[in-house]
Each structure stands twice: as structure tokens, then as C-alpha cells.
Structure 1
Amino acid sequence: MSQAVAAKSLLHDPIQPTLWRMTWPVIIGVLTLISFNVVDTFFVGMLGTDPLAAVSFTFPVTFTIVSLAIGLGIGTSAVIARKRGSGREEHAKFDGATALSVSALLVIILSVIGYLTMDPIFAALRAQERLLPYIHDYMTIWFLGAVLLVTPMVGNAVLRAAGDTRTPSLIMASGGLLNAIFDPILIFGIGPIPAMGVQGAALASLISWIIGSALVLWYLSYKELLSLKAPADASWLRSARQILNIGIPAAGANMLTPLAMAVITAIIAAYGAPAVAAFGVGTRLESLASVIILALSMSLPPLISQNFGAHSFDRVGAAYRVAVRSVLIVQLFIYGVLVATAPWIAAAFTDDPEVARLIRLFIYIMPLGYGVQGVIILTNSSLNALHRPMNALALSIVRLFVMFVPLSWLGAIIYDIPGLFVGGVIANVITGVIAWFWFHRGLRLETMHERKEHAHDAPEGVADGAAEGATK
């Protein structure tokens, strides 16, 4: 499907089949991304406890840059999709080139700072002295190639903004596959290739990033989705500001989740190692159970942004409601599957009876809230698509630090670990209801603003007709 046809389908085709067509390839890509981390952890774990611990210490640092890349991708998709929806194709192409250059510049700056301050950073994280050589081996290569990590992520956002979710998913899948192939070869060595240990794990990632960057840049050029020539009323600074206005708050919101999980883990740690182990298994199950939510959170924003740019306000609301309804139904089904298989899941992860009991308890309670948690995540991505990033950030703060952490802590005080899990479900339900009304309020306000802008810019007779038609 050509980019022009794909973009047109977002504006005119029936919403439910269009959303599904965009989402199913993303599901494959998200599963591949999850497997990327699992494969790395699996092979590094075979090197021993110290190498695994060293790589684990790098997660907060690498996740900071990954969060920035995700945020920039959200900002890129929202800005470009909205301009495509309003018919400003040359602006969209220029914004795509700007997004790639801005993301590269920011990540290069962060990587240089990270490399120069590596020892103080990991000392602050309390990494033991014996782990530092492993950390240096891994992070030196990682910082060197970080700009090649962000390039495919932002490039894929440009493609999604044009209505193409299949190609980004194929690029993500190829990256995960290449990483899985190169990991054992470079970590343990084969034939003339020496064993490189954790350095090999970082190099495997770097090679997959290089190939991913080459693929996405070639495809963007082939489809003529990038332009270095600024339209008459555009500039690099103005375009960069538009992307960062959404991208930076989105990155900040993304970083709040691991912070909240760290607080919850500290609360659970008071109940002993079995509780922490069970919660760790539960959070990994959550990431798998939420694959469709995460996929929809990537495929829904271009649909919303393009229709909003085209002033198809009814389709914006309808797309949001279709996505929310789909998530609630799917997550109810997934809950039933998890409950039915809970004994086997627990047995697969542990032989400890207490850990297995707590895993089953987690499964019986926490996934009850995954559907409404999906509503929150979709609302967040939809608010970014409406160019309301501060509202999305505020919703994340409310969800995690006004509701989830306090109610989980209160539940633990009242009824120990079961109370903590119930508190988390109640927090998600309350925030999900808030998110629903928050989105519709944001849509109403943005609609009023767009109508005023459209009426101001259009000729008098046209503006009156457009305003009248939009209210029908």
C-alpha cells in the first residue's frame, strides 16, 4: 500500500478494521522488543552472576536514553500525522528530517556526558568495584552506538505517522532476530571470532542498530518521506520546538513507571525475598499480558492525529472509543486465561511453595486491573496525539503517585500483600475513569480551539460552513 493510500485510509476507511490493520503488525514488533531484552539477559546470565549483575546495573542509565527516544518518537508521530491530516505534506517531510537530526543531536550529547561521568554514575548506583570492568566493557560500546538506537525508533515513528505500521514492525523484528543471532556468537565466540563476554553483548546490539538504521533511512528516502528543504513558513528551530514540546514530557512520563515500580518493590521487600521474587515474576507476566495495549498505544495516535488535523473530530472520538472497548474485552479474556493457567505458570517459574503461592495470588488479583490500565495508557497516547503532552504527563503522575503507590501502600497496611494487590487494582479503576473523562474534555477543548483557528484562517463563507458542518 502506498503512503498516499495509507494516509487516505486513516481519514476515510471504517475505523475498526483500519485500527486492526495498523495494530496487528505492531503486536509482532512489540513481542520482538520484549524478546530482545530476554535474549540479552539469558546469554549474559550464562557468563555468571557478576556479568549479569553488571549489565543489570546499566538498565537505569540505558533506560533513560531509551525513554528519551520513545518520547521523541511520540512527538514525531503526533506532529507529522497532524500535518499530513491537514494536507501539509512538505511540512511533514521536513519535520521527519528535523526529528531525526534533533534526536541524534540530543542522544550524542547525553552519550558523551554519560561516557565522561561513567564512574560517578555507577558509584552513585552503588555498583561494586569488581563489577566496574564489566560495566565499562558494556557501556563504552553502548554509548558509542546509542545514536544508532534512536534513529530506527524515530524513523519508525515517521512511518507510523504516514499510516504504515507494517514496515516499522518488520524493522523491529529484524533487529531482534539479528541480536539473537549475534549475541551467542560474539559473547562466547565461534571459529575465528573470539569470545568477548559482556562486550560481545553490547557489540551484538550495536550491529543490529546499524542494520536497523540503514534499513529505516533507506526506506524513508525510497518513499520520499524526508526533506531537508524547509517550506517557506517553516524552520529547523520551529519544527524542533514542536517535536520537543511533546517529546520531552512524553519521555518524562515514560520514566515515571520504573520509578513507581521501584517504590512498590521497596514496600514488598519488607515481606521477604519470596514476595520480591513473586512480584518480579508478576511484572514480567504483566509485560506479556499488555502486548496488545502497547501495540494499540502505538497504532492509535497516528489515526487520531491525522483525523484531528483534517478536522474529523467525530472520527477522533470514535477511534478512541473503539480502542478502549477492544482493550477491555481482550484483557478480560486474557484474565480468564491467566487464572485458568495460574498453577502451571507458578510451577514453571519456581519450585518454592511460598513463591508459587504468591505468584498465584498476583495472577488472581492484579490482572483484574489490566483492562482499565489499558484505558489509561491509551488515553495518555491519545492526549499526546492531540498535542496535549502536559495533560498526558499529569495523568501519568496521577496514576502512579496519587493513586497507585499510595493505595497499594494503604492496602498493604490494611491486609498485607493481598491488600497491596487489591489497592493497585482499585487505583487503576479510579484512574481509568478519570482518564476517560480527561480525554473527552481534552478533545472538546482542542476541537473548540481548532474551529476558532480554522474560522480565522478560512474565507468568511467557507469558515461559516466548516464550523456549521463540524457541529453536526
Structure 2
Amino acid sequence: MAAFMQQRELAITLWRQTWPMAIGVLALLGFQLVDSAFIARLGTSPLAAQSFTFPLSFLIIGIQVGMGIAIAALISRALGGGEDARAKRLTSLVLIAGGGVIGCLAVVLWLIQVPVFRLLGADEAALGYIRSYWGPQLFSAWLGALLYFIYSVFRAHGDTRTPGKMMVLSSLINLVLDPLLIFGIGPWSGFGLPGAAWATAIAFSVGLVLTSGTLARCQWVTREDIGQECRRSWRPFIGIAAPAMVSQLMPPLAAMLAITAVAGLGDTYVAAWGLASRLETLSLMVILAMTMSLPPWLGRCYGAGDWAQIQQLMRLALKVAVIWQLSLGVLLALGAPWVAMALAGNPEVQGELALIIRFLLPSYAALGVCMLVVSAGNALGWPLRAMLLSSARLFVCYLPCLWLGAYLYGWVGLAVGAAVGNLAAGLMAWLLLRRILSRPHRQAGYVS
């Protein structure tokens, strides 16, 4: 009876920690999908041009998420160990460093845009759209990274409601501005494709102003002894952030390689693949929310040495992930024609999108297991294993199956191959987690 009550209490706490982030992620990813849906009304060429930018946009997101993982892990461990003053110093330090790193990356991606997009398969027509879109898109990505780092601080303190609310607010602002800035109003014809990026930049700016004020009022930042904290914490930060960033950079790299295969099939398939990528992240909203809410909780347990609760948490999280994701995937697969009709204006794109939804969406149950194990690894002192698992998921399971399927059976084979790769990755992650949690004292090493 006591075990049941403890499990029930864990489930309630996990729900309370996760649902604000799930709503926030739904809103955030929803407005990205809305961006693509509005852009689809401009035509297949603008939509294909935006799809070519996804891998590089995911590159920025991968680095920011890797840094955010390190931020949440170090701050939550400091709080778990009763080092509140150090948590404040870490907050100030990582916000400054993170903004600088993402800013430098955005400048580099602006300078190398033409050769990179040509390498991905973009033709001159697509490059024309990309040139006008890429600058404001990089600016909005930098603002979004700063906002994400602040969200990571709130999550490390156990506050998931504030980030969730800000994500919803930013999404609503973007939703209102999207049609106005893309299509214009009255005699003004709008910005076209760049309007989507400017709408996102404005939405993120509002979120930054509000969350920065809340952060200051909570007194979670300080100017004192930042230099000393930098000398103390740069090694553990890099020890967590570097493997985490490599893990997060693997998906953008895999996306670049995947889109080169899709580009050979034509613009219609590129457009369908881009919409499917947006739908993938939206359908994984609960998993993404748990990868944000769970690691700080695990980090505090890790700092306190409570491995029994860590095991209970992971078992509960994996059950929720599989049941939710499989149910949602089957539902969306059954409604694939109507989902595709709502997202794509071109009937040809609708048909190809519906086909890939049927195969890929149910397989995200296994993908969710892998994502949660990777996320937990960064919080529990085995970031290298998490990095290797992330790499194996993409380059041992996902891409080989995708390429082989595309080579043998074209678009249908690509969809089936990607689904098989996800299933293999989920099984591999589950076996690794079971082995590690059976011997936690041997597998995890504390990083102070």
C-alpha cells in the first residue's frame, strides 16, 4: 500500500511538473506549424525554401538545448546540495556565455549560407527566397535561444509554470502577427516569407522582456564572484554541455543528410518532408515537455543520492511516453488525409504528406523512449553514454534504414525505413537504461 501511494504521489508530481511545459511546447511548436501552414499558401517554392533552412535552424536549437541541459543540471545539483549562492552565480554566468555563443553561430551561418544551401540541394529559385528569409530567421533564433536559457533556469528551480505561460503568450503573439506580416493588410502586401521570421522575432522579444523581469524579481541572478565561479565551473559545464550539444547536433546533421535524399525526389517531396518535420515536433510535445521537466528533478535526486526515486521516476516516465505517444500516433495515422489537407495547400503535397504520417507517427512511441533516456543521461552523470546513444539512434538505426528504403522503394520506402529506424532506436535505449539502472553506483560519476 505504501509503495502504491508513493507511486501515485510521483505520478501526480510528474503531472504537475510536466503539464505546464506540455502546454507551452504545444503552443511553441504549434506556431511553428502554423508558420509552415501559412507559408504553404504562398506556394510550393517558398515552402520548399523554408524546408531547406530547417537543418541549420535545428543546428542552432541543438546547441542551445545542449547548453540548456547543462544549465539545468548544474543549477539543480547546486540547489539539491544547498548551494543557493552558487546557483545564482551559475545563472548569471551561463546566460552571458550562452548568448555570446549563439550570437557567434548565427553570424557564421549567415556568412556561409549560399554554399551550404547549395550543398543541401537548393536551386537558384529556392536560394532567392532563402536570401530574404535567412537574416530575420537567424535573428529570431538568437532571441529564442536567450529565452530558452532563461526557461532552463526556471526549470532548474522547479518552476515549469512560468516558462509554460511564456511559451503560450509568445505563440499567441506569433499567431496574430503571422498572417499580417506574411500577407499584409489592405494595400500593403506584407513581407511574404520573411514575415514569418519577423513575427517570431517580435513574439520572442516580448517573452524576453517579461521573463527577464521575473528572473530579476526572484533574485536568481547575481553579479558577485562570477569570475571565480567561471574558473570553478567551466570544466563541469563543458563536461555536461559538450556531450549534450554533440547529442543535440546529431539530429540537425541527420536532417541535412536526410533532406539531400529527399531533394532528389523533387520540390513536392521536400515540401511534404518539411511539413512532416514540423508535425513530428508537435506530436512529440509531451515527450519534449518531459525532457524539460524531468532532468532538473532527476538532477536534484542525483545531488541527494536518491537512486531509488530515480528508478521509479524513469519507469513512470517511460510508461507515460509509450502509452501517450502510441495512442496519438495511431489516431493521427488514421486521420492522415485530413491532417495533410489542413496543413498543405497543394493536393500533391497533401498526398505525400498523408503517406508519411501513416508510417512515421506511430513509431514516435519508440523515439520518445530514446529521447527520454538521452535526456536522463545528461542529468544523471553519464552524458557520454547519452551522446553515443543519440549518435547511434541516427547513424546506426535511422539514416541507414531511411536511405535503404528510399533507394529500394522511393518515397514509400523512405517512410517505412524511417519508422523501422525509430523502433530500433527505442529498443536500444530501453536496453541501455535497464542495464545502467541495475548498477547505478557503477555507472554514474558525480560531476561537481
TM-score, scaled to structure 1: 0.79
Question: Number of aligned pairs?
Answer: 443
Name the structure 1 match of 2:216.
221
Tell me the residue number matched to 1:155: 150
Q: Report the Cα offset of residue 71 of structure 1.
A: 1.5
Aligned counterpart, 2:31: 36
Residue in structure 2 matched with residue 332 of structure 1 by the alignment? 326
Correspondence list, 1:203-352, <5 A: 203-230=198-225, 234-264=228-258, 282-342=276-336, 344-345=338-339
**CA deviation string 1:331-357 (max 9, x = no partner):** 232244235434544665679999777
What residue identity is the alignment partner of 1:227?
Answer: T
Q: Aligned ranges for residues 67-466 of structure 1 at < 5 Å?
A: 67-118=62-113, 121-122=116-117, 135-144=130-139, 146-190=141-185, 195-230=190-225, 234-264=228-258, 282-342=276-336, 344-345=338-339, 362-410=356-404, 421-443=415-437, 447-448=441-442
Asked whether the equivalents of residues 382 and 439 of structure 1 are also in contact (C-alpha less than 8 Å), the reply is no
Task: Judge which range, 17-26 or 330-339, deviates more.
Answer: 330-339
CA contact (8 A) 2:62 2:249 kept: yes
Preserved contact between residue 326 and residue 362 of structure 2 (Cα < 8 Å): yes
Stretch of structure 1 that moved more, 109-118 or 185-194: 185-194
Distance in structure 1 (CA, Å) of the matches to 2:293 and 2:36 = 28
Give the superposed CA RMSD: 3.8
- For residues 342 and 124 of structure 1, do their structure 2 counterparts lie closer, same or farther at Cα, with a shift above 3 Å needed? closer
The aligned amino acid for 2:98 is S
SS of structure 2 residue aligned to 1:30: helix
Contact 1:383 1:442 in 2 (8 A): no
User: Deviations 1:126-178 (Å, cap 9, x if unpaired)?
Assistant: 65556666545444444456543221100000101111111101111111211
Paired with 2:226 and 2:171, the residues of 1 have a C-alpha distance of 37
What secondary structure is seen at the aligned counterpart in 2 of 1:96?
A: helix
The answer for unaligned runs of 5 or more in structure 1 is: 1-10, 455-472
Residue identity matched to 2:295: P
Question: Are 1:36 and 1:179, in contact at CA under 8 Å, matched by a contact in 2?
Answer: yes
* 1:17 is aligned to 2:28: no
- Max radius of gyration: which structure? 1
* Greater mean alpha carbon deviation, residues 30-39 or residues 134-143: 134-143
Q: Deviations over 1:167-203 (max 9, x none)?
A: 1011111112112223333444458989444454433
Is contact 2:378–2:386 with CA below 8 Å preserved after alignment?
A: yes
Contact 1:68 1:248 in 2 (8 A): no
Q: CA–CA distance in 2 between the matches of 1:415 and 1:191?
A: 48
Q: Distance in 1 between matches of 2:74 and 2:189?
A: 46
Q: Tell me the residue number matched to 1:3.
A: none
For residue 419 of structure 1, report the CA deviation from its aligned partner: 5.7
TM-score, reference length from structure 2: 0.83
3-state secondary structure, aligned to 1:102: helix
Q: Match of 1:101, as an amino acid?
A: I
Check conservation: 1:99, 1:240, Cα contact below 8 A.
no
Cα distance in 2 for residues equivalent to 1:414 and 1:247: 39
Equivalent residue number for residue 4 of structure 1: none
Q: How far did residue 15 of structure 1 move?
A: 1.5
